[in-house]
Amino acid sequence: MSSNLLRRLGRNFSVRLSLWYTSIFTLSAAVLFLLVYLLLASALQRKDREVIESHLKEYSALYQSGGVGALRSWIARSGEARKEKSLFVRVVGPFNNVLFLTAPEDWIQFEPPTLEFGLPRGVVWVRIPKDEERDFTLAARRFSDGSILQVGRSTNSREMILQPFRRNFLAVTIPILLLGFIGGVLFAYRAMQPMREIVSTAQSIIDTGDLSRRVPLRASEDELDQLARLFNRMLEKNQSLIKSMRESLDNVAHDLRTPLARMRGSAEMALRSPPDSAQLKEALADCVEESERVLTILRTLMDVAEAESGAINLSLQKLDVCSLVREVVDVYAGVAEEKKISITTDFAAPCEAVVDPARIRQVFANLLDNALKYTNEGGQINIQGAHDTSEVTLKFRDTGMGIPAEEQDRIWDRLYRGDKSRSQRGLGLGLSLVKAFVQAHHGRVEVASQVGQGSEFTVHLPA
């Protein structure tokens, strides 16, 4: 396997996940095995020692009460009937001289360790492996006269039981681990499918610039599918944002081109015609008017951007906002009269709120300007002001052309103009400015409208 492939496998999340899982599993299995192994080994040892210990006790009592003679005759008497034949019994005197010895056949060629006289009081155990199947287990006890009694017995080799256990553990565990690892990689690889889809969709969008690509969804509802769903929604949002940005850019370019082309036309005409100060003056006046229009578009766009980004500086003061509406109504009285539109107001005085008067006046002016623009001659406009403890509400109601339901969400977008509104003057920036300014005051604005019946714009400002 090349080092490149190994590196790639190491970076693969499914492989890494399975490796972690397998390592944890291996560690737990090893701890479990060790525990069972130790318990088994100690149980085997206990079982081996039980028989020897009981004989050691019995012979000790005999030796202490009747000496070597009593021990010899007891063993000779009961040797055949009981299993003492299989026991090694030796008494060693204080000078390491053997006082008594009886041993089974397989112990003959074996010299059990001669015990040091420094042997502590109590029982001392020795275990010596004999062959593959048997061990010698020996217990020794020192008496007060310096002699030592040894009792031994052949026991099943502990290794014979423990070794297959160890071998089988490895033989069973290694395939299980391998199977677990491979199965883990496969399952993790399958589970990570949505992640791979997300990566490949993102990559293909980066490579091709095609914003319409989406992550294929599965029916399940797990976290990764939710992530894929959210990712798609984000792509959807980004696509519509980029689309509206492009449209805005197109609209700005279009809206700037018209006044600039007019300016250029007036200037060219003035240059071509014979010098006549009246004509030149007219051309310059046209240029000033058109450049004013360009500046208004740019200023309004910057105001909206500033308010939307939260960087706007408001000069806040507590005042009666209805008085601001009255001021605006006065400014538009002439236009209303010209269009034979009646403007009525209905205020619960005083409607006090903390606002930047210049910005809020602009909000009311835009709403009233629209109501006048989109209401036919003889129509009516009514402005209501009300307040409660938490907010001031202002409603601008007109009996104009109304706004189709499908346009009502879009009228707040920068440079958006309704289909039927194109005959009227306008930049498509009035309502985006209204929304941005009202939101900068932590308020909100909403519309309710029916085509042919009229519209109602409601501004809520915190009191």
| Site for ligand ADP, rule CB under 6 A | 370-371, 374, 398, 400-403, 411, 416-418, 421, 426-432, 455
Q: How far is the CB of 9 from ligand ADP (least distance, A)?
A: 58
Looking from the CA of 145 toward its CB, the CA atoms found within 13 Å total: 11
Nearer to ligand ADP, 343 or 411 (CB): 411
Alpha helices in 310-381, H assignment, sequence order = 321-338, 357-373
Residue (235 or 304) nearer to ligand ADP, CB: 304
Residue nearest to ligand ADP (CB): 418
The phi and psi torsions of 394 (rounded to 5 degrees) equal -125, 125
Please state the closest distance from residue 294 (CB atom) to ligand ADP, in A.
15
63 vs 437, which CB is nearer to ligand ADP? Answer: 437
**Omega before 350 within 30 of 0, i.e. cis:** yes
Give 272 or 422: the residue with its C-beta nearer to ligand ADP: 422
158-191 and 13-78 helices, crossing angle to 10°: 160
Residue placing its CB nearer to ligand ADP in the complex, 137 or 432: 432
User: SS3 of 112, please?
Assistant: coil
> Which residue, 387 or 414, has its beta carbon nearer to ligand ADP?
414
Nearest to ligand ADP of 56, 371 (CB atom): 371
Spatial separation of the C-alpha atoms in residues 152 and 103, rounded to whole Å: 9
Cα separation of 203 and 233, whole Å?
17
Minimum CB distance to ligand ADP, residue 339 (Å): 13
Closest separation between CB of residue 457 and ligand ADP, Å? 7
Which of these, 149, 151, 142, 153, lies nearest to 120 by C-alpha position? 142
Q: Cβ closer to ligand ADP: 63 or 416?
A: 416
Query: At its nearest, how many Å lie between ligand ADP and the CB of residue 437?
Result: 13
Give least dist CB 300 to ligand ADP, A: 10
Spatial distance between the Cα atoms of 271 and 74, rounded to a whole number of angstroms:
147
Contacts of 351 (CB under 8 A, 6+ apart): 320, 321, 322, 385, 386, 387, 392, 394
- Which positions ≥6 away from 193 have C-beta within 8 Å? 218, 224
Among 370, 433, 16, 6, smallest CA distance to 192 is for 16
Alpha carbons 456 and 460: distance in angstroms, whole number: 13
Q: Measured from the CB of residue 355, what is the shortest distance to ligand ADP in angstroms?
A: 20
Question: d(Cα 58, Cα 305) in Å, to the nearest integer?
Answer: 104
Task: Quote the CA–CA distance of 444 and 459 in Å, as a whole number.
Answer: 6
> At closest approach, how far in Å is the CB of 296 from ligand ADP?
11
DSSP state of 89: E
CB of 384 to ligand ADP, least distance (A): 15
Minimum distance from residue 432 beta carbon to ligand ADP (Å): 6
State the virtual CA torsion across 63, 64, 69, 74 in degrees, nearest 10.
Answer: -50
Nearest to 153 by CA among 165, 174, 133, 139: 139
Residues in Cβ contact with 99 at an 8 Å cutoff, skipping those fewer than 6 apart: 68, 91, 92, 93, 147
Q: Shortest gap between Cβ of 386 and ligand ADP (angstroms)?
A: 20
What is the distance between the alpha carbons of residues 308 and 437, in angstroms, rounded to a whole number? 8
